Structure 1
Amino acid sequence: MHADTVQIAMGRGSLKQKIDLYFANLGLGLNPYGLRKARMREIIHLEMKSDDQLARMGLSRDEILPHVFRDLLTA
């Protein structure tokens, strides 16, 4: 496992902060705890993939959270 391809290697706390920051940057005034808890398995599954695997899925690492929460953010 390469450190540059798995961002959750620093611990679960940093992944939680990443999700919180994602919602804060969107300007959503909500507590993402329930959303994060419900979708954490999918987020971790995608974070564990290599950049090449994500690219084959049509995703970049920065697109994981928008992808996982896409149903909440569509207009």
Structure 2
Amino acid sequence: MTYQSTAHPAHSVSPLDGLRRAGAGLRRFFVGIAHGLQVSSTAHRRFEQVQILQAKSDEDLAALGIKRDDIVHHVFKDLYYI
């Protein structure tokens, strides 16, 4: 004779599943931190580039083909279309 029970779940849950989920959460946490540091570093480099260009004379900027009013646009031109 065969007995069937519907009380068992369709799949069994391993004790390692909790560790896997915790590991995945920890990975997402550190990836988020790394992404934030990368964005901050990029923003800082662009800010420094704006400051360097603003410190140049109008003649130096003209030699580079940049007007003083267009410095920010020049530095951020790959991110924004204005």
TM-score (norm 2): 0.45
TM-score (norm 1): 0.48
Higher relative contact order (CA 8 A, sep 6+): 1
- Structure with the higher fraction of residues in helix conformation: 2
Structure with greater Cα Rg: 2
